[in-house]
Structure 1
Amino acid sequence: MDKTYDPKAIETRWYDYWESAGYFRPQHMDDSAEPFCIMLPPPNVTGTLHMGHAFNNTIMDSLTRYHRMRGYNTLWQPGTDHAGIATQMVVERQLQGENKSRHDLGREKFIERVWEWKQESGNTITTQLRRLGSSLDWSRERFTLNEDLSAAVQKVFIDLYNEGLIYRGKRLVNWDPVLHTAISDLEVLSEEEQGQLWHMKYPLADGSGHVIVATTRPETLLGDAAVAVHPDDERYQSIIGQSIRLPLTDRTIPVIADNYVDPEFGSGCVKITPAHDFNDYEVWNRHSHEAAIQALDNGGLINIFTIDAAMNDSVPEQYRGLDRFEARKRIVADLETAGLLEKTEAHKLMVPRGDRSNAVVEPYLTNQWYVKVAPLAEPAIQAVEDGRIRFVPENWSKTYFEWMRNIQDWCISRQLWWGHRIPAWYDAEENIYVGESEQAVRAQYKLGDDISLRRDEDVLDTWFSSALWPMSTLGWPQDTPEFRTFYPTSVLVTGFDIIFFWVARMIMMGLKFTGEVPFREVYIHGLVRDSEGQKMSKSKGNVLDPIDLIDGIDIDTLVKKRTSGLMQLQQADKIEKQTRKHFPDGINAYGTDSLRFTFASLAGPGRDIKFDIGRIEGYRNYCNKLWNASRYVMMSIEDQDTGLDESSPVELGLAEHWIIARLQQTEREVAQQLEHYRFDLAAQAIYEFTWDEYCDWYLELSKVTLTGDSSAAAQRGTRRTLVRVLEALLRLAHPIIPYITEELWQRVAPYAGIKDGETIMLQPYPQADESRIDATVLAAVEWVKAFILGVRRIRAEFNIAPGKPLPVRFTGGNAQEQSWLDEYRPYLTSLAKIESLEPWNESDEAATALAGDMTIAIPLAGLIDPQAELARLQKELDKYRNDRQRISAKLENSSFVDKAPAAVVDKERQRCNEIEAAIVKLEQQYERIESLN
C-alpha cells in the first residue's frame, strides 16, 4: 500500500470498473429479492453539479448502496430534464453570437440545433454525478424528451383533456418579458429592492373631491378597473358604488368594498388592476358579477402590455409603444403637471425577477393551458392521510396538506419551442381539437381536407413531464417488467422547496393513471447554505463547487471563477477580496469520500445545512486515519497466520472480545439510523467506532499481544480479529464512503477469508450478532481505558514526557477492579508506559486520578522540576489572562456587540468561557506544584 491516501489515484479507476462491470444494475430481476427503487430528481440537461446536487446524491447513493448490500433488487433510476427555458436560452445565445435568432432558423431547424447541442454538451452533470460516486444504473438513463417518455406525456395530456381536467383559458400568469413566456413561481426570485411609492389623486366623477391611492407601479393605473376600500371603513361609506375618473384616461371606474383592503395602510384606498396584479385579480373575481364591473370595457380586464412589457394599444395614444419604465416616468410627470401627484417617497419593496433572464416579471393576462387540479388533489391528500405515503420528517406533511387544500389550477403551457409541443389544433374559428397527430384529429373529429388546421405553438411546462417521472422512466404506459417490479418506488429524496412543484404533482399523476402512489416515503432534506447560514449565490461570492472540493483549485483560478460574469466592477473587487481572505491558498483536494462523509454528517432533521469547509478537512483526516490503520493491519498480517486454517487453535483475549462486541453494537446502531434516515447519526457511529475505538484503542491493545510473549494461538486470534473487524468496518462504511472502502477491502478481504468477492458493493451489509455483546467484557475494557487515561492525564497536566516510564501506585477499588488490575496488567503497563505498579502509601505526595473506585497515584518527587514547572505554568497563565482581558474588553464594547454578526459575537463569548476554564485548571495545577516546594 502507498504510504499516503491519494483519492485521485483510486476514484476514477474504481468508478469505471463498477460501471463497466454492470454492478449498478438490478441484480435480481427474477423476483427472488425485495425491490428497492429510487428515482433521481432529473437535473437540468444544461446544469452543472452544485452543492445541493452533491448533498442530495450523497443521501440517495448511501441508501442505494445500503439496500444493494442488504440483498434488495436495487434500482437507482437516472435521467435528465430537457429544461425548456434554460436549454432554449443556451442555444439562442449561441445564435446571437452568429448574429441570428431562432426565427431566422425556423422552428424545425432550431429544434435540430438544440438536439445537436444536447448531444455535444448536455452530459456535463451526468459526468459530474459519476465523479460523486453515484451508483446509478446508467444503462437505463432517460431524458424527458425521449420518444417513449414523450409518448407518455402526450397520453396523459389527451386523457386529462378528454375528461375535462385540462382546459384553455385566459388567466393571470407570471410573464417574463425577455423570454416571452409564462414561468412558474419557482422560476421567480423576489428580493427586496429600493423603490418609490407614488401617492396619486383619483378624482370622484361627480367632482365632489378625490381619493388618494398609492402604488409602486404608476404605469399600471392605465389598466385600473376599480378603487377598493374596506366595507367597514367609515371614511368611505358614502362613496362606495360611486365612480372615479381615472387619471390620464377618459374612463370611469367604480369604488367597491372588499375585505382585502387594510384600512390602516396608506389612505385605506387601493387601486385594483386585475389584469396585472394577482391579488387584484382575486378581488376582481369576487366582484365581477356586479353591474358596475360588467359595464366596463372587457369587464375590467384590460391588458396594457405587449409581450415585451411595452405599452400596447389599450392605453392612451401618447403612451403607446413606450417601455414600461419609460412610460412610468412619463405618467408620473403628467400626473404632476395635472396636479394629481400628492407626493413621492422612498419605499423598499419585493421585486419579482425571472431566475433566467433577471427581468422584472409582470403579472400578465393571457391565454394558457391549465390542469383542473382539485379533483386530482383529493386522492393525493388521502394517500398521505392514510399512510400510503409517509413524509420524513413528518412535519412536512403539514406543509403538503396546507398547499393541497388551497390548490389553484396549474398553468402548464409555455411560450417556447423546445419541449413537448401541446397536441392541440385550431380551425379558423378557433375551435380546439386535441389528439396524437393532425391525422388522428381529422379522423376523430371527422374533419375534411377542406378545413385548415394549425397546431398550437406552445410547449408544456417541464414540471408536467417530470410529474410522470416515476412512471414514464419505468416504461409506463407499457406494462414493462421494470414497471411491474419497481413501481411504486421506495423513497423519494428531495428538497422542501419543490414539494408543491414536483412531489405533489407526481402523487396526483401517479394515483390518477396507475391507481398507486408513486413512492412509499418522501425524505425531505434541507438546503445547503454557507457556514453562516447564508444562501449560496454568485453575487455573494460564497458559492462552493463540489468538484473544486474534490479536486482542489488554486486561488487565482478560484477568483476568476467566482468573479466571471459579474457586471459591476465594485462587486467583483469585493468578491475577490473575500475569496482571497477565506482561501489564501485556494482549496485543497479533499476527494469524494471526504465530501460525502461531510454531507452525511450534516444530514440531520431540519431545513438548513450549514457547510463549513473546516468539517471536510476533518473527514479528510478520517480517511487518512482509516488508510493508515489499514496499512498497519496489512503489515501485521502479511505472511502471517490469521487463523483461517481451522486446524490451528485461535485464542481471543479481552481486547478481541471487546472490539467484536463494540462492532456488533455499531452495526446495530448504523442500521437503525439508516432505516430512519438519520445519516448524521449513522456517520457519527461509524466515525467514532473507527477513530476512537478501533484505531485509538484496539490497534494499540493488539500490539501488546503481537509484540509480547503471548501464545501463538493468542497472536493468531489478534491477527484474525484485526483483519475481520476491519473488513466488516469497510463494508459498514461503504455506502457513505465508497471509493476508499473498495480500495482497502480489495486488499483486506483475502486475509479475512473472502475468496469470491469481486467488489465490496455486492458483499452483505454487516448484521449485528447480539450474542457476541458481552457486558462484562465491555465494562472491563472501559475500566482499563479509564486507568490508562488517568495516567496519561497526569502526564499531560504535569508536562511529563509521554514515553517516560512512570512509577504508578494504586489504592482502593472493588473486588472486580482488583481482579482486572491483576488480569490485565500487561495492557496497563504497556499502554500507560508504567515502570512499576504497586500499592500506594497515601502519605506520599502524588498526583491522582480515578479508574472506577480505584485511585491511581503517581509520586511527583523526582519526576518534575517544581521551579521550571511553575515558570511554565505562569507563562501559560499570563497568556490566557491577556487573552481574557482582550476578549472581555471587546464584549463590553456595545458597538461591537450591536454591529457584529450574532455568530461572531457568540464565538467570542464561547472563546472567553473556554479561556476562563483553562485559567481555573492552570491555577489548580500551580497550587499543587507549589505545595511540593
Structure 2
Amino acid sequence: HRTRYHLFLGRQNVTGPDIIFFWVARMIMAGLEVMGEVPLPDGSKRRGVDDVVPFRDVYFTSIVRDTEGRKMSKSLGNSPDPLDVIAHYGADALRFTILYLAPLGQDVHYANEKCEMGRNFANKVWNAGRFLLLNKEQLGSAPSAGTVSGGGTKAASAGSKGPGHSALPEDHLDLADRWLLSRLHSTIGELTSSLERFEINQAAKILYDFLWHDFCDWYVEMVKGRLYGDEPEVAKRAVLNRAIGIFDQSVRLLHPFMPFITEELWQHLAPRTDGESIMIAAFPRKEDRWIDKKTEEEMAFVQHAINSVRNVRGELSVPPSKDIELVIRFSDAGREKIIEKYLRYFQRLARVTKIQQLKNGEKPHHSASAVVDGGEIFIPLEGVIDLDAERERLRKEIAHTQRMLDSIQNKLANEHFVGKAPKEVVDREREKLGHFRANLEKLQKHLAEL
C-alpha cells in the first residue's frame, strides 16, 4: 500500500472542463469511498477529508476553438498542424499566444495569424538582449563597488550565478533606474499573485506589458542616452551591468512562458558552467524596499507628456532630426517641477532643447498644443516647419478626409445596405466613420493652431 498509494495525494489537478464528471468528480468520490482504510505513506491512519481527497485545486484548461467557436477536430478540417505553426512562427510564439489568449474559465478562439503577436514579442525581447550584449562586448563588464539586490534567492543548485541574481550595481543610479527597479519588483509581485490564483493569461499580460513597454520601449531608450553620452566609462559600465541584471531577472520571469528564447538569452548574459540552466535558476522575489509608487506615477506622467509631444510631431510632419522647444502651463506646479526634473528624457526621447513656463497666460503664436493631465504643452512651430506648406497640406488632407466621411455616411444612410449587409460589415463601416470623424477634428484643430 505504501508504494501503490504514495503519490495519491496532490495539490493540483490540471484537466479539461469537458471531463469534469468523467474524471474529476469520480476521482474525488472514489477517494472518499475507498481510501479511508488505506494507510498514509508513513503508515499512519488517514483521519480527515484532506487525507482521502486526491487534490485541493482543479485547474480547467481552455478548449481551443476556431474563430467561429467550433471545437477543433480533424473531421471539420479546422485544426492546424502545430508543427507547421511552429515552423512558421516559432514554438515560443505559439506557446505564449495560447497562454495570452486563454482567460480563466473561458475558451480560446484561435487562428494562426494571432501567433504574430507572440512572434513580435519574441523578436522584441531578443532584440533587447542583442542590444545589451553588443554593448557589453564594447564596454566590458567591470564589477561595481555598490550593489542592489536583484530579488532572487541564493540557490545551491546550478543556475544561481550571473548578473542580477544576487546583486546589481547600485552606483550611478538615476531616476530611470529607480523607476524600472520599482516596476520590476511591482511586476514580480503582480505576477506571483496572478500565478497563485491560476490567472495564467493575466500573468502573460503582466509580463508582456513590463517587457515590451517598460523595459524595451522606455528603459532601453533611456539607457542609450547614457551609454552613448559623455558619462565616464565606469558610469557606463555600471549602467549597462544594471540593465543586464534587470534583463536577467526579466527573462527568468518569462521563462515558464517562453522557455527556448529565454534559455538562449540567459546563457549569454554571463559566463555559465556546464549544467547551469535558467530552468533551475532562482525565481525572482519581490522586495518591497525597491517599490516606489511616487516615482512610478511621476514616470507615467512623463511618458504621457513625451508621447503627446511625439504625436504632435508626427501629425505635423516635424522631421525627427529637428529640435523643438516646449512651453508648458499646468495649474499644478508640481507637474511643472516633474517635467524640469526629467528634462534629460525630453531631450533624448522627444528632441526638446528647452522647456519654459507660459508667461502672461498667452498662447505662443503659430504653435501646436497637447493636453496632458489637465495641463497644456505648446510647441512653437515657427522656424521648425514651413507653415504655409503645412497649412496647404492640412487643407488637402481635410478635404480628402471629408470626402471619405461623406461616402461612409451616405452608405450607412442607405437602408438597403444596412438591412442586407452582414452585421460585421456594417459594424466595420461604423467603426471607420468614427475613425474619420476623429481624424477630421484633429486636422481642423491643427489647421486652426497654424
**Short-chain TM bin:** 0.7 to 0.9
Match of 1:535 in 2: 71
User: Does 1:603 find its partner at 2:102?
Assistant: yes
Query: Which whole-Å CA distance do the structure 2 matches of 1:776 and 1:650 have between them?
Result: 21
Preserved contact between residue 659 and residue 693 of structure 1 (Cα < 8 Å): yes
760-769 or 780-789, larger mean C-alpha shift: 780-789
Correspondence 1:416-565 to 2 at 5 A: 478-480=1-3, 483-484=5-6, 486-515=7-36, 516-538=52-74, 540-551=76-87
3-state SS of 2:89 partner? coil
Separation in 2, partners of 1:867, 1:539: 64
What code does the residue aligned with 1:527 have?
A: I
CA deviation profile, 1:460-513 (whole Å, cap 9, x unmatched): xxxxxxxxxxxxxxxxxx5228x52x4322222222222122222222333333
**Cα distance change of structure 1 residues 668 and 709 upon mapping to structure 2, 3 Å threshold:** same
Q: Deviations over 1:287-321 (max 9, x none)?
A: xxxxxxxxxxxxxxxxxxxxxxxxxxxxxxxxxxx
Choose the corresponding residue for 1:872, options 380, 393, 398: 393
Report the equivalent of 1:829.
Answer: 347
Quickly say closer, same or farther: Cα 1:629–1:505, change in 2 above 3 A: same
1:168-187, Cα deviation, whole Å (9 max, x unpaired): xxxxxxxxxxxxxxxxxxxx
Corresponding residue number in structure 2 for 1:792: 310
Write the distance in 2 (CA, Å) between the matches of 1:911 and 1:540. 34
Which letter maps to 2:344? P
Distance 2:432 2:373 in 1: 32
- RMSD of Structure 2 on Structure 1 (CA): 2.8
Per the TM alignment, residue 654 of structure 1 is displaced from its structure 2 partner at its CA by 0.7
1:897-912 equivalences in 2 (<5 Å) = 897=418, 901-912=422-433
Q: Equivalent residues in 2 for 1:354-393 (5 A)? A: none
Superimposed CA distance per residue, residues 723-747 of structure 1 (whole angstroms, 9 cap, x where no aligned partner): 0110011000111111111111111
Q: In the alignment, which residue of structure 1 is the partner of 2:171? A: 650
- Following superposition of structure 1 onto structure 2, how do residues 656-805 of structure 1 map, counting pairs within 5 Å? 656-712=177-233, 714-750=235-271, 758-805=276-323
Whether the 8 Å contact between 1:792 and 1:832 is mirrored in structure 2 is yes
**What is the identity, as a one-letter code, of the residue corresponding to 1:526?**
S
Q: Letter of the aligned partner of 2:443 in structure 1?
A: L
Deviation of the 1:524 alpha carbon: 1.8
Which AA in structure 2 matches 1:531? T
Deviation at 1:756, TM superposition (A): 8.2
CA contact under 8 A between 2:121 and 2:208: conserved in structure 1? yes
1:336-392 per-residue CA deviation (whole Å, 9 max, x = no partner) reads xxxxxxxxxxxxxxxxxxxxxxxxxxxxxxxxxxxxxxxxxxxxxxxxxxxxxxxxx
**Aligned CA distance change for structure 1 residues 813 and 612 (closer, same or farther; 3 Å):** farther
SS in 2 for 1:489: coil
Q: Whole-Å Cα distance in 1 between the matches of residues 35 and 72 of structure 2?
A: 39
Letter in 2 for 1:758: E
Query: Contact 2:104–2:200 (CA<8 Å) still a contact in 1?
Result: no
Deviation of residue 885 (structure 1)?
4.2
SS of 2:68's equivalent in the other structure is coil
Does the CA contact (< 8 Å) of 2:322 and 2:384 recur in 1? no
Misfit runs of 4+, over 6 Å: 754-757
**CA distance change for structure 1 residues 905 and 543 in 2, over 3 Å: closer, same or farther?**
farther
Other-structure match for 2:133: 634
Q: Report the TM-score when normalising by structure 1.
A: 0.41
What is the aligned-residue identity percentage?
38
Question: In 1, Cα distance between the equivalents of 2:432 and 2:8?
Answer: 54
**Do residues 593 (structure 1) and 129 (structure 2) align?**
no
SS at match of 1:519: coil
Tell me how far 1:774 sits from its aligned partner: 1.5
SS of 1:810 mapped into structure 2: strand
Q: 1-side partners of 2:345 and 2:299: how far apart? A: 10
Q: Which residue identity is paired with 2:348? A: S
8 A Cα contact 1:658 1:777, kept in partner:
yes
SS in 2 for 1:801: coil
One-letter amino acid matched to 2:258: I
Residue identity matched to 1:791: V
SS at 1:487 equivalent: coil
Aligned equivalents of 1:881 and 1:863: distance in 2?
Answer: 28
- Distance change in 2, residues 1:527/1:635 (3 Å): same
Matches within 5 A, 1:822-901: 822-841=340-359, 842=362, 844-845=364-365, 846-852=367-373, 855-892=376-413, 897=418, 901=422
Q: Is residue 144–residue 171 contact of structure 2 (8 Å, CA) maintained in 1?
A: no
Pick the structure with more helix per residue. 2
Q: Secondary structure at the match of 1:535?
A: coil
Q: Would you say the 8 A contact 1:643–1:649 is kept in 2?
A: no
SS at match of 1:909: helix
**How many positions carry a matched residue from both structures?**
410
Relative to structure 1, the CA distance from residue 539 to residue 912 in structure 2 (aligned partners, 3 Å threshold; closer, same or farther) is farther
Q: Tell whether the 8 Å contact from 1:603 to 1:680 is kept in structure 2 after alignment.
A: yes
Corresponding residue number in structure 2 for 1:922: 443
Partners in 1 of 2:96 and 2:305 — Cα distance? 33
Distance 1:652 1:726, change over 3 A: same
One-letter amino acid of the structure 2 residue matched with residue 662 of structure 1 = R
Report deviation, 1:814. Answer: 4.5
8 A contact 2:368–2:378 mirrored in 1: yes
Distance 1:747 1:703 in 2: 21
Please name the residue that 2:163 is paired with.
none
The code of the aligned residue for 2:310 comes to R
How far is the alpha carbon of 1:828 from its aligned partner? Answer: 1.8
In structure 1, distance between residues paired with 2:28 and 2:423: 42
Q: Is the 8 A contact 1:601 1:680 kept in 2?
A: yes
The CA deviation string for residues 900-920 of structure 1, in whole angstroms up to 9 with x for no partner, is 554444334333322322222
Q: Deviation of residue 531 (structure 1)?
A: 2.1
1:909 maps to a residue whose letter is R
**Deviations 1:774-825 (CA, angstroms, capped at 9, x unpaired):** 1332233223323322321220221111221112233446454444444432
Deviation at 1:608, TM superposition (A): 2.6
**Structure 2 contact 125–211 (Cα < 8 Å) conserved:** yes
TM-score (norm: length of structure 2): 0.82
3-state DSSP class of the match of 1:742?
helix
CA distance in 2, matches of 1:891, 1:538: 41
Q: Is the 8 A contact 1:727 1:749 kept in 2?
A: no
Q: Report the Cα distance in structure 2 between the residues aligned to 1:782 and 1:643, rounded to whole angstroms.
A: 32
Which structure has the larger Rg over C-alpha atoms? 1
Can you list the C-alpha shifts for 1:135-188, whole angstroms capped at 9, x where unaligned? Answer: xxxxxxxxxxxxxxxxxxxxxxxxxxxxxxxxxxxxxxxxxxxxxxxxxxxxxx
Change in Cα spacing, 1:545 to 1:788, as seen in structure 2 (3 Å) is same
Change in 2 beyond 3 A, CA 1:517/1:907: farther
Query: How far apart, in 2, do the equivalents of 1:817 and 1:503 lie?
Result: 56
* Map of 1:48 onto structure 2: none
Residue pair 1:495, 1:525 contacting (<8 A) in 2 also: yes
SS in 2 for 1:656: helix
Residues 364, 378 of structure 2: 8 Å contact kept: no
Distance, in Å, in 2 between the alignment partners of 1:740 and 1:819 is 42
The 1-side partners of 2:96 and 2:274 are apart by 29
Matches of 1:632 and 1:810, distance apart in 2: 35
